[in-house]
Homo-oligomer: A and B are copies of this chain.
Amino acid sequence: MTGVPVIQTDGYPHSVTSATTGSTQGLDLSVDRSSPVPLYYQLARQLESAIEHGALGPGSLLGNEIELAGRLGLSRPTVRQAIQSLVDKGLLVRRRGVGTQVVHSQVKRPLELSSLYDDLEAAGQRPTTRVLLSEVRTASAEVAAALGITEGAEVHLFERLRLTHGQPVAFLSNYVPAGLLDLGTERLESTGLYRMMRNAGITLHSAHQTVGARNANADEAERLGEPEGAALLTMQRTAYDDTGRAVEYGSHIYRASRYSFDFQLLVRN
């Protein structure tokens, strides 16, 4: 990060560099006005990466907003917007009369609607998927209720087995209203469901989850390679897109011996 020159194409690049560390002073912050990326977002990303890379250590002050704005050639509201987005993410804390400082705790990521696939991939587990079943059925009462459709309507059901290192981790049963997207088996094996939805123009918005546990019956035990009666982690999830329409219902079973949910959450004040 040190001596890297900031190449600027057009607009008026404001680059700020200094030797002081532990503060925003020692950072090479700059914005590119010719870019279509919003200025507040450019700044937010730079601050975020500075925090991640340790250039801005925990507890270090960010420097007051007015000065920061001046140094970057931005207005205060723009700087505030950038900072606010990081405060919302839990990376920064504002204190009136004191300043804005980097939070001490190692907040990684708040809980997201991440797919199991992405989770495992991020953990370097190299997940693979085996599609066991993929067909159109009529919705049962349970599925219809979860998806908010009428019982008997057509849904696409697919069952998948997720593995890492050749070992089963989870058995996933997913239901998608028919016609919402075309689910090719080959693509389901190579990527996650949510990624496919995003590519199909569906923007996920929220989800309702229930996490519980139960003992494995003979069927489940065999599929997952666990002894009968072993504790299983269960999760049911209904996902909604931004129009409020339910786009997916999943009923998942995880081997508790090989998987657990791990997440960070923020308190809203």
Contact = CB atoms under 8 A, between A and B. Distances in A.
Contacts of A211: 211, 233, 260-262
Nearest to A109: B268
Contacts of A240: 104-105
A201 interface: no
Interface size class of A (residues with CB under 8 A): 35 or more
Contacts of A256: 212-214, 231
B267 A205 contact: yes
Counting every copy of the chain, the complex holds 2
A20 interface: no
A168 to B, nearest CB: 16
A177 to B, nearest CB: 14
Interface of A: 58-59, 88, 90, 93, 103-105, 107-108, 110-113, 203-215, 229-233, 240, 242-246, 256-257, 259-269
Ranked nearest first, the 3 interchain pairs of A and B with the lowest CB-CB distance are A104-B244, A212-B260, A213-B213
12 contacts: A58-B244, A90-B205, A90-B206, A93-B205, A93-B242, A104-B240, A107-B206, A110-B268, A112-B268, A209-B261, A210-B261, A231-B231
